[in-house]
Amino acid sequence: MQKLHISDADFAVKFDRIVRARRESDAGVEGQVRDILHEVKARGDGAVVDYSMRFDGYALTDNSDWIITKEECAEAFQDCAPELRAALELAATRIRAYHTDQLPANRDFTDDAGVRQGAIWRPVDAAGLYVPGGRAAYPSSLLMNAIPARVAGVERLVVVTPTPKGKVNSLVLAAAHLAGVDEIWRIGGAQAVAAMAYGTEKIAAVDVITGPGNAYVAEAKRQLYGVVGIDMVAGPSEILVIADKDNDPEWIASDLLSQAEHDPSAQSILITDDKAFAAIVEDCVNVQAAQLATSKAAQASWEDHGVIILVDEISQATALANDLAAEHVELAVAEPEPFLQSIRHAGSVFLGRLTPEAIGDYVAGPNHVLPTGRRARFASGLSVLDFMKRTSFIELDEAALKAIGPAAAELAYAEGLPAHAHSVERRLKK
């Protein structure tokens, strides 16, 4: 775990190293994924069968081995403990409400030249959702991916989820029932992403693929972008907590560990203006981490990637936050609003001492699928727009063509494209 002080002579060098560090897949993964994609494209179901046995120890021998039925999902939902079922329903309701408010409006207007123009938003026909089934099997992620797709109007929702040695996560099935998923296939890894992108004998191709996964899944999505749309290439989770000394150190330690427990490659960073407070938080992290069921991942993450940064004034934290462009940013300060206005790059921001990032993972409403690895500089979290596309339209009458057509022809000639110009001028002559 690294400790930095903003006044240290070598702070800029050390901080830049943290900013630039990559905690994602190596070149070896890229090559392996390329081979898997090639095999699935060439051999379809046969390749998926081979890889499922090789990586998941699961045999896809007949149709019942491939598919999880809607009836199984409904049964899993009914079998949930009442309080857990209520929690899933609350999460789904809030996620649906937030994303419904994101729906874009169509445009249709006529400008001063008499040109009618605008745009129509339409959903994609089919969306594929990847749901992890190994270390990270999260029903919350299924809700966060499937509900925006449904809100967007996607007609066919396809889920792929690995079932290692045949083991199924019942909560994922319950969430699939609640979200109204159409198909669930018991496959995972890069081969599942390829099957959804290219289509196989059994699985019809989709238009967009979203959802988190391991390094192989992320790399498969990256290589297949263009064949299908994707949400983003996501890396290990990360959290930046900006906290002054007036916080409960136990709370802040728990917040840091809430991301560290995801994966040994996850990163938790604390920025504070109080050295004594930082020391107490560090002690709390070590004590709490040892008591977690997820202690192995949490401790490895904190020891290898954890960072505590001391600043002279807490206001200095916003400039550092913009350089880090973290997935999650907690503002555990008395007046978070000025910080929010100053932070330009973040996946999602959590305001005040009573807003832990974990609330955003489950029931707040905004999507928890967020850009990592400094991609918040140019990317946003998952939304209904990831499942929609915009088609523009233009309509001219004779007066409108006379008003703007000559300029179009002039520009076409300037670009050396006379046929473009002729297609306008012939109409003008008429």
Task: Give the Å distances, CA to CA, from 304 to 103, 219, 298.
Answer: 41, 23, 10
Q: Which residue has the tokens 């004590």?
A: 287
The yes-or-no answer on residue 398 being catalytic is no
The answer to whether 133 and 68 are in contact (CB under 8 A) is no
Element (H, E) at 118: strand 116-123
Task: Give the Å distances, CA to CA, from 106 to 99, 119, 247, 280.
Answer: 17, 6, 46, 53
E-strand stretches of 237-376: 238-243, 267-272, 307-310, 328-332, 348-351
Q: Which residue has the tokens 């046969």?
A: 46
How many Å apart are CA 421 and CA 404, to the nearest integer?
Answer: 12
Catalytic residue among 219, 327, 330, 357: 327
How many Å apart are CA 383 and CA 368, to the nearest integer?
Answer: 10
Task: Give the Å distances, CA to CA, from 297 to 186, 266, 290, 344, 388.
Answer: 26, 9, 11, 30, 37
The yes-or-no answer on residue 328 being catalytic is yes
3-class SS shares of the chain: helix, strand, coil, % to 5:
50, 15, 35
Catalytic residue among 262, 328, 345, 368: 328
The helix/strand/coil state of 171 is: helix
Q: Phi and psi at residue 187, in whole multiples of 5°?
A: -135, 155
Query: Count of alpha carbons within 13 Å of 314, Cβ hemisphere only?
Result: 21
Residues with a known catalytic role: 327-328
